[in-house]
Amino acid sequence: MTDIGIRNERPEEYRAVEELTREAFWNLNVPGCDEHYLLHTLRRHPDFIPELDFVATLNGELAGSIVYARSAVETSGGQKRETLTFGPLSVLPAYQKRGVGSALVRCSLKEAAALGYGAVLIYGDPAYYARFGFRPAEAFGIATAEGSFHPALQALELVTNALADCAGRFFEGDAYHCDANAAAEFDKTFAPKEKFVTESQRRFARLAGLPEPE
Ligand SMILES: CC(C)(COP(=O)(O)OP(=O)(O)OC[C@H]1O[C@@H](n2cnc3c(N)ncnc32)[C@H](O)[C@@H]1OP(=O)(O)O)[C@@H](O)C(=O)NCCC(=O)NCCS
C-alpha cells in the first residue's frame, strides 16, 4: 500500500529537497542539471510563493517537491495580467509512477485556486500535463516572451475565463533565470555524479526546438 502525503516544505529539509530535485533531473534534459540550484535561488526570490511550496511524502519518506512563482502575461492591449508558474516539479526516480507527481500537481493547483489565483502557465511536456487540464497556451492566444507559439507552453484556468482577453506574451520574469556558472559551483557542494547524453535529452531538444545532442 502507498500512503502519499502532501504538506508545505520545512526550512530544515531544504537541502534534502535540493538533493531530491537533483536526482529527479540529473541527465534528464541536458547532461547533469541546474534545477536544484534553481530551486535554491527561487525560494529567496520576491516572486516565490511560500504557501505553494509543497513536498510529497511516500510512506513517510520525502518523495517529491513542487514550487510556484508569480509570472505574467503582457496582453497585446498593453495590460499586465498576473499568472502563476510552477517548477521544478520533482519526484525521486525510485518513487516515480506511483501517483506522487499527480498528487503534488492536483493538490497544489487546488490550493492555488483557494488562494484566489486565476491561471497557471508552465513550460513542460504536454504528454504529461494534459491530464491535469492544461491546454496549449496558443488556445488562449498566449505566446512566449519572444512572441512565438510553442507546444511546451501550456495554460490552465483556475477560474473560468481567467485567460479570456489575455492574448499576448508570457513572461516568467527573472525568478526562473538560472546563472549556469553559479549553478555549476553550487553543484560542486553535492556528491559527484556522472554526466552523460541520454535519449530523454534528445526528446527534450526536439520539444524545445534545440539542436539534438551528439
Ligand atoms: C514528471 C514527474 C514529476 C512525474 O511524477 P510521477 O510521480 O512519476 O507521476 P505519476 O505517478 O503521478 O504519473 C505517472 C505517469 O506520468 C507519466 N509521465 C511522467 N513523465 C512524463 C512525461 N515527461 N511525458 C509523458 N508522460 C509522463 C508516466 O509515464 C506515468 O504514466 P501512466 O500513468 O500512464 O503510467 C516525475 O517523473 C519526475 O520527477 N520526472 C523528472 C523531472 C521532471 O520531468 N519534472 C517535470 C518537469 S516539466
3 state DSSP class of 126: helix
Fold of 4-189: Aminopeptidase (3.40.630)
**Whole-structure pTM value:** 0.96
Our answer on whether the CB atom of 124 is closer than 6 Å to any ligand 1 atom is yes
How sure is the predictor about 1, in pLDDT bands with cuts at 50, 70 and 90? low
CB distance 123 to ligand 1 below 6 Å: no
Residue spans of the domains in the chain: they are: 4-189
Task: State the pLDDT at residue 207.
Answer: 85
Alpha-carbon distance of 146 to 150, in angstroms, equals: 10
Q: Is pLDDT above 90 for 55?
A: yes
Kindly provide the residue ranges of all beta strands, DSSP E only, lying in 59-205, ordered along the sequence.
Answer: 61-75, 80-91, 119-123, 135-136, 142-143, 153-157, 168-171
Amino acid letter, 89: L
> What's the pLDDT score for residue 214?
81
User: What residue's CA is closest to ligand 1, atom 31?
Assistant: 97
Is the CB–ligand 1 distance for residue 24 below 6 Å? yes
Q: How many angstroms is it from 129 CA to the middle of ligand 1? A: 9
Residue 111's pLDDT is what? Answer: 98
Compute, in angstroms, the gap from residue 79 CA to the centroid of ligand 1: 35
Residue 62 C-alpha to ligand 1 middle, in angstroms?
17
pLDDT tens for residues 63-109?
999 999 999 999 999 999 999 999 999 999 999 999 999 999 999 99
Quick one: which atom of ligand 1 is closest to the CA of 29?
A: 44
Ligand 1: which of 128, 156, 203 to mutate, judged by most atoms within 8 Å of the beta carbon?
A: 128
